[in-house]
Amino acid sequence: MKTFSIGPDGDIAAFEGGKAAGALAAGTEAFRSERELHDITAAWLLDRLVQVWNRQPGAQRVKRFRDRKTAVARIWKAVQNLKPSSAKDEGTPRPHDPKPIPQTRRQKTGKGHAITRVAQVIQMLEQPGGATLRAIISATGWQAHSVRGLISGHLRKKLGVRVKSFQRDGERAYAIRARNQIAVEIVKTTKKGKRKR
């Protein structure tokens, strides 16, 4: 039975039996079935699966997949044609895609839970001094107009959070009160019969 390995760069290699199990490089995972491949790639973006597919020899390039199930099924079918690599192939470099493969949109916390960038921004804004625009940009990788759009559109208009905007040392900074204080305020205003925004 063939064993396959997929590296952090998206390269897939085939091995006979369990030969690959002990010799895997860091960040490389082994799989023997379509289900195992699905489990390994469960947290990946579909864009990353597209890049893995496009790296397969003889694969017709695609821009996107309809869903994860289709992507995994196509990749699994394509790797069935891979010939097991031998020891002499180990040192042969493979052509690499110029674009890095994105990992995930969510950042893992210490407890194993995933945190979105929006939640990360909210946590930054809840800090006692708030956060500067530059700090938010460096933490999320977003451009300035995206951060301002999140604060204006999502936080203020959609969620109804009061975001304080101010200058600190000549830099734009934003702050909000902790979410539990906001929830207490909303409950107090609804008990009086009127809800403030």
* Whether 132 and 75 share a structural domain: no
- pLDDT of residue 73 exceeding 50, the answer is yes
Residue 171 covered by a domain: yes
Angle of CA points 3, 48, 146, to nearest 5° = 160
Q: Which of 104-108, 110-114, 138-142, 144-148 shows the highest mean pLDDT?
A: 144-148
Residue 52 neighbours by CB under 8 Å, 6+ apart: 6, 10, 12, 75, 101
Extract the tokens encoding 138: 């460096």
- Residue 152 placed within a domain: yes
Band (pLDDT 50/70/90 cuts) for residue 112 is low
Residue 102 located in a structural domain: no
Shared domain check, 73 and 16: yes
What is the average pLDDT across 76-92? 68
pLDDT of residue 175: 93
26 with 82, same domain?
yes
122-136: pLDDT as tens digits? 889 988 889 999 999
User: What CATH number does residue 111 fall under?
Assistant: 1.10.10.10
My answer on whether 131 and 70 are in the same domain is no
Asked, for residue 144, whether it belongs to a domain, the answer is yes
**pLDDT exceeding 70 applies to what percent of the chain?**
70
* Residue 82 in domain: yes
Domain that holds residue 57: 2-89
Residue 178 lies in a domain: yes
* Shared-domain flag, residues 80 and 10: yes
**Is 132 part of a structural domain of the chain?**
yes
Whether residue 99 lies inside any domain: the answer is no
Residues 6+ apart with CB under 8 A from 36: none
Q: Which residue has the tokens 């977003």?
A: 142
Number of continuous H segments (helices) and E segments (strands) in the chain: 7, 8
For the residues 1-20, what does the mean pLDDT come to? 76
Using left for φ > 0, alpha for ψ between -120 and 50, and beta otherwise, residue 196 falls in: beta
CA nearest neighbour of 4 among 77, 12, 75: 12
Count the domains in the chain. 2
Residues 139-188 pLDDT 10s: 888 999 999 999 999 888 888 888 999 999 999 999 997 655 544 444 45
Q: Specify which residues 31 forms β-bridges with.
A: 4
Q: Tell me if 182 sits within 8 A of 161, measured CB to CB.
A: yes
Higher pLDDT, 49 or 87: 49
Q: Is the pLDDT of residue 103 over 60?
A: no
Closest CA to 89 of 9, 31, 2, 15: 15
Does residue 129 contact residue 175 with C-beta atoms inside 8 Å? yes
- Alpha carbons 152 and 144: distance in angstroms, whole number: 12
pLDDT of amino acid 178: 64
Neighbours of 20 (CB within 10 A): 19
